[in-house]
Structure 1
Amino acid sequence: MDTTRHGGAEQGVGDAARRLTESTANLVRQDVDRVREAVEALADRTGVSVPGGREERGNRISGLGPLLGLAAGLGVGLGRGIGVLTGVAGGPPTRTGACVAAVSAAAAALAASDGPMAALGISDPKEWEPADWAADIVPHRAYGAATAVLHGLRRSCR
């Protein structure tokens, strides 16, 4: 067995995994920084101060960030639910309907999370790299798919 050839392949896979891990960690750090900036900008613009000492305030800002994402997701889900109840959104539970529901929910979630960041001047999606878009689109597509599945389950239980 030629260990040189296999060692080179292992080295290549190891390097690729390391680069992927480093780039993913960098994207997560950037996202956390953007969310902190959003919380601080919203607090400044609304005239609400986040209380506490330096460390305590930082922890509170870090905790409020995920709540903004949760609020965006709940808002999109609520909007979709109201649309279904009023007949504006929805339709027969077909594959096409599920795909449209998934894409529309994902697009709404993207707009609900990225729109305020752009409006606050924290992030400009026009300047994003493909890796930034991929890191942003994947979780929103998962959200859209879950929304469509739940909508389909609700319709099939009638």
Structure 2
Amino acid sequence: MRGLIAGAAGTSALNVVTYLDMAIRARAASSTPQQAVEKMAGLADVDLGEGERADNRKEALGSLLGYATGAGAALCYGLAAARCRPSWPVGVLALTALAMVGSNAPLAMLGTTDPRSWSATDWISDAVPHLAYGVTAYAAYRLTTGDHYGGR
């Protein structure tokens, strides 16, 4: 349960930072999650419909994949943290890395993105929201354990 709460908090922070970036730089949302949903639907032979209905499903399912990634990263962290109780820098970096790998590795495997071709701006645009996820998920996890100071 702690991992789910931490994942929800972290995912909310990631979304806020992403939307702030979009507003500040007047950039469009990434279409990569929708492309991933389209590829997965094709691999699973699932019909998403046609036209606007298909586009709406891809957008919704892409967003849900992001929430699932956030929950999954924090659940994995929670399982490990129950044994070793990492300090805040280690915990934040672990959660940040889990979220980045959890979101980017499947997208790269599906061929919807290639991090090797990203510019420095692309990496920053990806890393900063994931760092916000890591900080917030770590804080939420620690608050749910009653350890407000981060331990060791």
Q: Does the 8 Å contact 1:98/1:148 carry over to 2?
A: yes
Q: How many residues align?
A: 127
Aligned CA distance change for structure 1 residues 116 and 24 (closer, same or farther; 3 Å): farther
What does the per-residue CA deviation read over 1:20-41, in whole Å, with 9 as the maximum and x for residues that have no partner? 9799344x34x1x211110100
Deviation of the 1:151 alpha carbon = 2.7
Identity of aligned residues (%): 31
Q: Tell me the residue number matched to 2:25.
A: 24
Structure 1 counterpart of 2:36, which letter? A
Aligned CA distance change for structure 1 residues 119 and 23 (closer, same or farther; 3 Å): farther
Note if 1:98 corresponds to 2:98. no
Distance 2:22 2:110 in 1: 30
Which of 47, 52, 55 is matched with 1:55 structurally?
52
Q: Tell me the residue number matched to 1:115.
A: 105
Scaled by the length of structure 1, the TM-score of the pair is 0.73
Could you tell me which runs of 5 or more consecutive residues in structure 1 were left unpaired when the two chains were aligned. Answer: 1-19, 92-96
Aligned CA distance change for structure 1 residues 155 and 36 (closer, same or farther; 3 Å): same
Q: Does the 8 Å contact 1:40/1:61 carry over to 2?
A: yes
Note if 1:39 corresponds to 2:37. yes
Q: Does the 8 Å contact 1:34/1:123 carry over to 2?
A: yes
Deviation of the 1:54 alpha carbon = 1.1
Distance 1:117 1:128 in 2: 13
Distance 2:98 2:66 in 1: 13
Distance 2:23 2:62 in 1: 23
Aligned CA distance change for structure 1 residues 79 and 132 (closer, same or farther; 3 Å): same
Structure 2 counterpart of 1:74, which letter? A
| Deviant stretches of 4+, over 3 Å | 20-26
Distance 1:22 1:148 in 2: 26
Q: How large is the RMSD of aligned CA atoms in angstroms?
A: 2.1
Distance 2:130 2:75 in 1: 16
Distance 1:25 1:50 in 2: 30
Distance 2:25 2:121 in 1: 9
Deviation of the 1:45 alpha carbon = 1.1
Distance 2:77 2:110 in 1: 25
What does the per-residue CA deviation read over 1:99-136, in whole Å, with 9 as the maximum and x for residues that have no partner? 11001100110000000110011100010011111110
Higher relative contact order (CA 8 A, sep 6+): 2
